Amino acid sequence: MSSRIWLVAILTAVPAALWAQPRTVSLPWWDNPLASGLTLTDSQRTRIQEIVREYRDQLANLRTETDQAEAALEAVFNDEVVDQRRGTAAIDRLARTRADLTRAVSEMTLKLRAVLTPQQWQELQRRGEEGARGGRAAGGAIPSLTLTPRATSNKK
């Protein structure tokens, strides 16, 4: 009987955990109202645009790969007969694509951070924390860290 309870718990928890992954669709911090008033110079704005252009295609491709990996794993869960090998491969692919996506977003954000002065960065963090308390940003993080590639890949 306890093995049935365990099986039901796993079958309920795994799909719930998959769908619980964050899907923040927010403006990138450099276009976000939180960034207005940071007194970015023209050269900072230009550099930010260059960095975003540099990563745009890569982020769009990684987002597509992640979406496809999620769909493949969902298909495994929806099969009448579970194929453990196919499921493990789908899980590995999804983990790899999410890691690649996280790495690219983090690298881009680090480059964007390097464009800002320490004072601008501190101000952006302060505004992000205030926005989180007011319900405008997710998880209390600054907007740059809640940035999703989906949000940047749709910008032209």
What are residue 16's phi and psi, to 5 degrees?
A: -65, -40
Give the residue-averaged pLDDT of 22-35: 58
The region of weakest confidence among 39-43, 74-78, 93-97 is: 39-43
- Does pLDDT of 57 surpass 60? yes
DSSP state of 35: G
Nearest to 146 by CA among 49, 34, 69: 34
CB 138 within 8 Å of CB 132: yes
Give the torsion sign (CA, 111, 33, 140, 68).
negative
What is the structure's pLDDT at 130? Answer: 75
Strand intervals (E) in the chain:
none
% of the chain at pLDDT higher than 70: 62
DSSP assignments along 1-33, one per residue: -HHHHHHHHHHHHHHHHHHTS-------TTTSG
First and final C-alpha spacing in the chain? 56
Distance from CA of residue 139 to its chain's centroid?
13
pLDDT in tens, 109-118: 899 899 999 9
Report residue 147's pLDDT band, with 50, 70 and 90 as the boundaries: very low
Q: Supply the pLDDT for residue 55.
A: 94
Residues 85-105, mean pLDDT to the nearest whole number: 97
Is pLDDT above 90 for 74? yes
- pLDDT above 80 (res 2): no
How many residues are recorded in the chain? 156
Helices then strands (H, E): number in the chain?
5, 0
Structure-model confidence comparison of residues 132 and 47, the more confident one: 47
- Angle between helices 42-78 and 2-19 in degrees, nearest 10: 150
